[in-house]
Amino acid sequence: MNDAFLPSGPFHTADRRDTGPPGTPREPDTLGSSTLYKLCEEVIALREYDKRQLRSVEQTLTKVRDELKTSFNNFAADTQRAYQQLRQELHGEKRVSLALLNELLEIAHDLQAIVAARPDPADVAAVQRWITAVEVESRKVDAALLKQGIQPYDAVISSPYNPAIHERVGSKRVEGMGPLLVAEQVERGYASQQPEFVLRRPKVIVSE
């Protein structure tokens, strides 16, 4: 009832809004304060978004780092194994080469002695001993080759001619045999312990 005698104006209006019932939410006073509240909310939201993005980037970087580390470790291990294998192969080839050279030097020394001891053709007994010495040296060469895993390789008669494993030195017509077949072996070849690894192709005559 006394409200009619109270002064009116903006201050009175604000005072009336501030003296509302307890528990009533306070309305924004001005447009500026409302914009400030929204700005603060956006800043907080942006900060939370940045935190989430930073955590995501950190997780991605950690994952990429772990993948790169694993890949590099695997690459280093593979490289080390390949290096060790190559080193073993080189040492193995070196040992084989040295063994072959020693065998070759010994055979060359023996042949020089045999040639130096060539007998008079009129001495039949001496010629026979000289021939026996040559035969012994030939067997020694075959034994040295077998010791290194090199064995004679013969062409199969009537098998298809294959330039990879046969050396064609001629051709002829053979009764009852089709064309491009191994008709005759002129000279045997040599191969390693692996059948497909032919060191020296046998010389053959191919059917027409």
51 versus 1: which is more confidently predicted?
Answer: 51
Alpha helix (H) residue ranges in the chain: 10-18, 31-116, 124-147
Residue 10: its pLDDT value, please? 46
Rg (CA), the chain: 50
Band of residue 31 on the pLDDT scale cut at 50, 70, 90: low
Give the integer Cα–Cα distance in Å for 10 and 159: 119
Per residue in 14-30, pLDDT (tens digit) is 444 444 455 555 554 55
For the residues 194-198, what does the mean pLDDT come to? 66
Q: Give the pLDDT score at 44.
A: 87
Of the two residues 21 and 92, the one the predictor is more confident about is: 92
Residue 172 reports pLDDT greater than 90: yes
Q: How far is CA 154 from CA 128, 168, 176, 200, in A?
A: 30, 14, 22, 10
Fold of 150-208: Nucleotide Exchange Factor Grpe; Chain A, domain 2 (2.30.22)
Q: Quick check: pTM over 0.75?
A: no
In our burial notation (b when 16+ CB lie closer than 10 A, e otherwise), range 179-191 reads: eebbbebeeebeb
Encode pLDDT of 135-153 as tens digits.
Answer: 999 898 888 888 878 888 8
Question: What whole-number percentage of the chain has pLDDT above 70?
Answer: 81
The pLDDT of residue 150: 84
Q: Domains of the chain: which residue ranges?
A: 150-208
The whole-number pLDDT of residue 26 equals 52
pLDDT digits (tens, 9 = 90+) for 116-130: 988 998 999 999 999
pLDDT, position 104: 84
pLDDT for the residue numbered 25? 52
